[in-house]
Chains A and B, each alone.
Chain A
Amino acid sequence: MPLLRVFNRWLKNFASETQELFFFSLKMILALFRRPFYIPETMEQLYILGFGSLYLVVLTGIFAGQGFALAFSTELADFGAKNYLGRIIAISIIRELGPVLTALMIAARVASGITAEIGAMKTSNQIDAMIAFGIDPIRKVAVPRFIALILMVPALTIICDFISLLGAWIIAIFISHITSTVYWSAVFERLVFGNLFVGILKPIVFSFIIAFVACYKGFSSEGGTKGVGRATTESVVLSSITILVVNFFITKVVFSLIKGYL
């Protein structure tokens, strides 16, 4: 019976938090279209979130691409199909690896930062001070970060895809001994509408997830510095898991809807 009670309480908390997250997300979306627009804050966030995450995405992309290429080239060699390395790399990076890795890296770096910053502002009453001065903190604090994520996650994903393909190309040339022409023509063969569409759709959806979770966790953090630490951890864990789960469903849905274009 106590176990049932614990489960019941957990279920209630889960439902209540999901509902709060939903309404908070709705507020953020509505706030996107309402004045005032905080242009300087948005530009600042574009720089911090975008340019600041570039090194992370480049490093991740190059090593992930090389790792994939190494693993695949050995397997393909067994079947005498090394020339198909470019195709497999292009599909796996553009459809899956690029968007997911970029989103996970940004969730780790940016979501934690956003939650910690907003949580600290809340703990020190700065959020209340904003409200007291007639400022909507969602518009002032959350929306610039939201816009920056919507623009920067897809941009960084494209960069990550390109760098990963380059990393894989290095392995193709120097380890698998495939010519550049063979590798790139195989890659371009898979750069079709369906793959590119999935490759852009996913980071846009992931940017929404990171923004909603990170801002919500920041605004709902309680319990001083310890609470901010807890909220930051929860923010990274929840956004990362949600990204992986949603990634699966997008892939599944897209496969059934636009199979002919893939």
Chain B
Amino acid sequence: MIELKNVHFSYGEKPVLQNITFSVSSSESVVIMGPSGSGKSTILRLILGLECPQHGEILFDDENIATMKEKHKREIRKAIGMVFQDGALFDSLSVWENVGYYLLEHTRLSDEEIGRKAVEMLGFVGLNADEIIDKLPEHLSGGMQRRVAIGRALLSTNPRVMLYDEPTTGLDPQSAENVCNLIRKLQSEKSISTIVVTHQIADAIGLADRFVVIYAGELVFDGNLEQLRDSDDQRVRDFLAPFKSSFGEVAEKKFVG
């Protein structure tokens, strides 16, 4: 479904990604991990066509996003939902306007109809619409903002792929758990392919079918949990070392579960 082939990307003369190759198949969930500044979020931006690689191909259903015209990219983006870091909600719009943003911009539906759909979507993402529907994003907690952002991405285009950039960073454990549960719910109920960028090991283990580890712009690991745990690549071990205890504990739970 999505395939990156030998992707190189740099900001000016500073290389960010080098020779990245991996794929995500339909209904699969891939977690991209790696230290801060390793280029994880850039991969999501490349898939969404917000950046163009200097070399390589980014294929979506065998079409190369990297060489597409903007008009064609817009069509492809309809099949991709993106939840940005910190939600990226439109701060001058209320919650219902945020959730119904795509419909407000691209359809002729009435405000009442869009509001009704927004209420339904807020319910789906586990929020009480009556309490927050007319509030501005700044009046919501971090966890609520992420869920509104997920609702916005879902209502907009009915996506086949969801991209999450650090969906639980900065959230308290309960809110992070709620967001992870919602991502799992989407995977199981809507069969949506998922790519999650995170450095929260516990969340990654709970969400991933497969793991990709990026280290200093290079892909150093692509495999499942067992292979990740047993990896003898020093860079993977270095990255996992600080989380060793929690990694063992959570991984154990997953295996037992």
Contacts and interface: CB of A to CB of B under 8 A. Distances in A.
B74 A124 contact: no
Interface residues of A, number: 10
Contacts of A131: 48, 50, 77
Contacts of A125: 84-86, 88
Interface stretch (A91-99, A103-111, A132-140, A181-189): A132-140
Choose among A124, A126, A132, A133 the residue with the greatest number of B CB atoms under 10 Å from its CB: A132
B149 to A, nearest CB: 8
Interface in A131-169: 131-135
Contacts of B91: 124, 126
Interface in A164-182: none
B5 interface: no
Given A133-B156, A134-B74, A128 B88 contact: yes
Contact of A124 (B82, B86, B105): B86
Contacts of A132: 48, 50, 77, 80, 82
A9 to B, nearest CB: 13
A228 B89 CA distance: 19
A58 to B, nearest CB: 28
Choose among A126, A131, A134, A135 the residue with the greatest number of B CB atoms under 10 Å from its CB: A134
A133 B102 contact: yes
A15 interface: no
Nearest to A222: B11
Contacts of A133: 77, 101-102, 105-106, 156-157
A128 B85 CA distance: 11
A128 B45 contact: yes
A129 interface: yes
Contact of A134 (B45, B77, B86, B88): B77
B78 interface: yes
B90 interface: yes
Choose among B84, B88, B102, B106 the residue with the greatest number of A CB atoms under 10 Å from its CB: B88
B122 to A, nearest CB: 18
Interface in B190-237: none
Contacts of A128: 45, 48, 50, 84, 88
A20 to B, nearest CB: 13
A134 B84 contact: no
Nearest to A128: B50
Interface in B48-102: 48, 50, 74, 77-78, 80, 82, 84-86, 88-91, 101-102
Given A124-B88, A125-B85, A128-B88, A134 B106 contact: yes
Contacts of B102: 133-134
Contacts of B77: 131-134
Contacts of B78: 134
B36 to A, nearest CB: 15
A134 B105 CA distance: 9
Interface string B137-158: 0000000000000000000110
Contacts of A129: 82, 84, 88-90
A260 B102 CA distance: 57
A126 B92 CA distance: 11
Nearest to A36: B105
Contacts of B82: 129, 132
A244 to B, nearest CB: 32
27 contacts: A124-B86, A124-B88, A125-B84, A125-B85, A125-B86, A125-B88, A126-B88, A126-B89, A126-B90, A128-B45, A128-B48, A128-B88, A129-B82, A129-B84, A129-B88, A131-B48, A131-B50, A132-B48, A132-B77, A132-B82, A133-B105, A133-B106, A133-B156, A133-B157, A134-B74, A134-B77, A134-B105
Given A129-B89, A131-B77, 12 more contacts: A124-B91, A125-B85, A125-B86, A125-B88, A126-B88, A132-B48, A132-B77, A132-B82, A133-B102, A133-B105, A133-B157, A134-B74
Sorted from nearest, which 9 A-B pairs have the closest CB atoms?
Answer: A125-B88, A125-B84, A129-B88, A134-B74, A132-B82, A133-B102, A126-B88, A128-B50, A133-B156
Interface of B: 45, 48, 50, 74, 77-78, 80, 82, 84-86, 88-91, 101-102, 105-106, 156-157
